[in-house]
Structure formats: structure tokens, C-alpha cells
């Protein structure tokens, strides 16, 4: 008797939707609180709090609708065996177009093209509303509809350019991998991740944003001095024009070995009151590097990916699994999609665990910046970024523990103050 794989997946999807909706309701109630958390009274202005509260509530309401539509569509697609129908029709369309549908690579690309078109159509209304209604209403959106469309077209073209060779390689590896399939798949994805980490900031990111060297001046001198003091191999220091699309701010670093780069959003420079506040944010990011957080995270992701491919090799030839989802044959891409659905419980658990680790890393990076003497500036920068990004001030502890990869502002300020108290004692 075939096991009810599809029914089990649908059951868990619905249960997770109910659980996460419960957490969303708790968070929505927290966002409706009319007063600031006590530790932020006198730190965050009343005007910024009201704006943050309104922005967070609007996003929360939109999230309820988006998630309800998503679970409805996903369960409908699986329950009514829409994917097998799309697979069959994509083969017919490929044949009608003069392609050999017996070739699994060509059939798969036709199938993925249909899936991509469907995703673009269903995601577009939500993206438009989020960008041009919610973000615009609260003063964040800076892009025009033409820039939005241009970015979307660039993304589609990149998918068309990069997708086919990657998909073809995966299919060939699965078809010929034999007993070492998991190792070959992991090796390919590992190499691909290194390539993408190399070319994305140099080739792909500049297609969407303009990167210019940080001008000579006090800020550049202070960042270079800090990097040198930590033996950070800084090669280039950029400013990216994030303000052309949004008022949200950020900073990050990238690069391998002795070729590191730091990128500052122009909005970050505009929002911080002094160079030292900006440098304190960089000190936090350098803390991640110095404490090997990036390396640990990369290794963890690679390990989880290897285990995931190992699990896939155990079920990829399961006829019952494919038949449960409505498929008569066993295409490689379909096997990967089905496997992703069957391990949803494990993925949610791992995501929660990775968030716990990420929050611990954030506290450590804050402490690192504090030990460099940037505690006052980092506190001021964190408050300023919280205010300018209108981030949620009141958060439900269950919701933040489950969803947040970064600790709430109250916890970060408290940790910095505790560190100061311990040092004074």
C-alpha cells in the first residue's frame, strides 16, 4: 500500500500556516501597543514611534492577506495535481515548438518557463502593492514604475541566461551520479556558490545599482584606519545608490581572502549623524569577519546542503512518492521539488536553529564593536537606523524568537549596557 506522502505534506503545510498565523496575530497585537517599551522611552521620539507603528501595522495586515493567498494557491496546486498537468502540457508545447520533449533537459526548461511565468503573474500584484502603496505611503519607495519594470525584466533575463546551464548540469549529474550522487551534487553547488559569490557583486549587482568609490575625506580615513588596525585586507570601499529605490539603509562586505570590499548605502551615510556612527556600524560588520561568523555560516550551509542531497538520493527513485503527487514518470527536477516539500518540517526546524545562531552572532559582533570603543556610537547608530527604517519597536517574544535573525533593538541596547556594567564592576 502506497504511503500518503501528499496528504502528509498538505497536512503539515496547513498546520504550519495555522501556527505561523498564530504568531503573526501575537505580533500584530504587540504592534498595536500605543506606548514604547520602557527601555526606549526617551530614546526613540514619539513622532518616529507613531510612524513606525503605522508602517509596521500596514505591513502586518498585508502579510496576513499575502500568506492566506499563498497557502490557498499552494495547497490547491498540490491537491488538484496541477504540477503533473503543467509537466505534461509543457512537454506538448515543447513538441509543438519543434523541440524534442523526450529530452529531459528541454522538457524541464519548458516546464520551468511555465512555472516562472505563473510566479511572475501571481507575485506581481503583491510586489506592486508593497512597493507603490505601502512603501510609498511611508516614504520609503523612491523608484518609478519604469525602474520597477526594468529591474523585473533584468531579473527575468538573468534567469533565462543563468538558469538553463545550471538546470542542465543538475539533470546530467543526477542521471550519471551513481552511488556518489550526493557528493557530486554538493560539489557542483559548492563550486556554483563560489562562482556566484564572485560574480554577483562585480557583474550582477551593478546591473541594478551604481557603485562608486567612497570619496576621500574623514569617513574614508577612519574606515581604512579601523580596517588596518584589525588586519582586514580592504581593497575597495564603495557607496551604492540605494536611495534610487528605497530609503532603507544598510552596509555589507564581500570578497575572498586578501581581496575584501566594503559597501555603504548612501542612505546610511545620510541618516547617521556623524562619521563615528557610520564607523561603528562597520566595526560591527568587521566583528563578524574577525570572529569568523561568515565562515561558520558558510560551512553550516554547505553541511546542510550535503545532508539534503544525501536525503534526496534515498528517495529519488521512489515510485510511490512520485505517484502520490500525481506523476507517472520520475523527472529529476520534479523529484527535487517533491523532496523539498517532504522535508518542510526539517526546514522549519533548521531555520529556527539558524536564527538562534544568527542572533548570538549579532550580540557577539556588537560586543566586538563595543570593545573597540564604539559602544556610544553604536548605540546611537542602532537607534538612528531603527528610527529611520521605521522598524518595529514593540515585538512579541515568541514571534521574534521564531522569525528574527537579528535581536530586537531593546535586547541589543540592553546587552551593550550590561557589557558596560560588567566592565565598570
157 to 154, 207, 209, 299: CA distances (angstroms)? 5, 12, 16, 31
> Residue 284, annotated ligand binder?
yes
241 is catalytic: no
74 catalytically annotated? no
Give bridge partners of residue 265 from the DSSP assignment.
240
Cell of 223: 574606515
Q: How far apart are CA 268 and CA 359, in angstroms?
A: 22
Beta carbons of 109 and 332 less than 8 angstroms apart = no
Q: Which of 135, 276, 277, 285 is catalytic?
A: 285
Spell out a b/e string for 346-368, using b for 16 or more CB atoms within 10 Å of the CB, else e.
eeeeeeeeebeeebebbbbbbbb
Q: Are 331 and 303 in contact (CB under 8 A)?
A: no
7 is in an annotated binding site: no
Active-site annotation holder among 135, 277, 366, 411: 366
**362 assigned to a ligand binding site:** yes
Q: How many CB atoms lie within 10 A of CB 328?
A: 10
Gap between the terminal Cα atoms of the chain: 68
Using DSSP's 3-state secondary structure scheme, residue 317 falls into coil
H or E element, residue 264: strand 260-265
What single DSSP character describes residue 393? Answer: S
Residue 284, C-alpha cell as written in the block: 560591527
What is the four-CA torsion angle of 348, 397, 289, 184, rounded to 10 degrees? 0
Contact between 254 and 197 under an 8 Å Cβ cutoff? The reply is yes
Determine which helix (DSSP H) or strand (DSSP E) holds 335, and give its type and residue range.
Answer: helix 332-342
Q: Cell 530609503 sits at which residue?
A: 247
Cβ–Cβ under 8 Å, residues 256 and 354: no
| 67/17 Cα distance (integer angstroms) | 8
> Residues 101, 92: contact at Cβ < 8 Å?
yes
Pick from 305, 415, 303: which is nearest to 370 by CA?
415
Strands 211-213 and 234-240: antiparallel
Strand partners, 236: 261
Residues in binding site for Zn(2+): 284, 288, 362
Residues in binding site: 284, 288, 362
Catalytic residues: 285, 366
Amino acid at each position: 500500500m502506497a504511503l500518503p506522502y501528499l496528504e502528509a505534506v498538505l497536512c503539515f503545510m496547513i498546520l504550519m500556516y495555522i501556527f505561523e498565523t498564530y504568531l503573526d496575530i501575537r505580533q500584530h497585537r504587540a504592534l498595536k501597543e500605543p506606548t514604547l517599551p520602557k527601555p526606549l522611552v526617551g530614546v526613540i521620539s514619539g513622532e518616529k514611534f507613531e510612524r513606525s507603528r503605522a508602517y509596521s501595522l500596514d505591513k502586518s495586515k498585508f502579510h496576513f492577506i499575502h500568506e492566506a493567498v499563498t497557502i490557498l494557491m499552494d495547497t490547491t496546486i498540490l491537491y488538484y495535481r496541477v504540477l503533473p498537468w503543467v509537466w505534461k502540457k509543457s512537454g506538448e508545447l515543447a513538441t509543438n515548438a519543434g523541440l524534442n520533449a523526450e529530452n529531459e533537459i528541454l522538457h524541464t526548461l519548458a516546464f520551468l518557463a511555465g512555472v516562472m511565468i505563473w510566479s511572475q503573474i501571481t507575485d506581481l500584484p503583491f510586489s506592486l502593492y508593497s512597493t507603490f502603496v505601502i512603501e510609498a505611503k511611508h516614504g520609503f519607495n523612491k523608484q518609478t514604475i519604469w525602474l520597477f519594470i526594468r529591474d523585473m525584466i533584468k531579473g527575468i533575463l538573468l534567469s533565462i541566461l543563468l538558469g538553463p546551464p545550471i538546470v542542465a548540469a543538475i539533470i546530467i549529474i543526477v542521471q550519471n551520479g551513481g552511488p556518489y550522487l550526493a557528493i557530486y551534487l554538493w560539489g557542483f553547488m559548492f563550486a556554483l556558490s563560489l562562482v556566484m559569490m564572485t560574480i554577483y557583486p562585480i557583474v550582477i549587482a551593478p546591473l541594478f545599482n551604481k557603485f562608486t568609490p567612497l570619496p576621500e575625506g574623514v569617513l574614508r580615513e577612519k574606515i581604512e584606519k579601523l580596517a588596518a588596525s584589525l588586519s582586514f585586507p580592504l581593497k575597495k570601499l564603495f557607496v551604492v545608490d540605494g536611495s534610487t529605490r528605497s530609503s532603507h539603509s544598510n552596509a555589507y562586505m564581500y570578497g575572498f581572502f586578501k581581496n575584501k570590499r566594503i559597501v555603504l548605502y548612501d542612505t546610511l551615510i545620510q541618516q547617521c549623524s556623524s562619521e563615528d556612527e557610520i564607523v561603528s556600524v562597520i566595526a560591527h560588520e568587521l566583528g563578524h569577519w574577525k570572529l569568523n561568523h561568515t565562515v561558520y555560516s558558510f560551512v553550516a550551509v554547505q553541511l546542510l546542503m550535503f545532508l539534503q542531497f544525501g536525503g534526496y538520493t534515498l528517495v529519488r527513485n521512489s515510485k510511490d512518492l512520485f505517484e502520490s503527487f500525481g506523476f507517472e514518470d520520475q523527472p529529476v527536477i520534479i523529484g527535487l521539488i517533491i523532496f523539498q516539500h517532504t522535508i518542510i518540517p526539517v526546514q522549519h526546524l533548521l531555520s529556527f536553529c539558524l536564527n538562534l545562531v544568527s542572533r548570538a552572532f549579532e550580540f557577539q559582533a556588537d560586543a566586538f564593536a563595543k570593545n573597540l570603543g564604539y559602544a556610544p556610537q553604536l548605540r546611537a547608530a542602532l537607534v538612528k537606523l531603527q528610527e529611520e527604517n521605521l522598524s518595529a519597536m514593540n515585538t512579541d517574544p515568541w514571534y521574534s524568537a521564531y522569525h528574527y535573525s537579528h535581536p530586537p533593538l531593546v535586547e541589543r541596547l540592553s546587552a551593550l549596557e550590561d557589557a558596560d556594567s560588567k566592565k565598570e564592576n
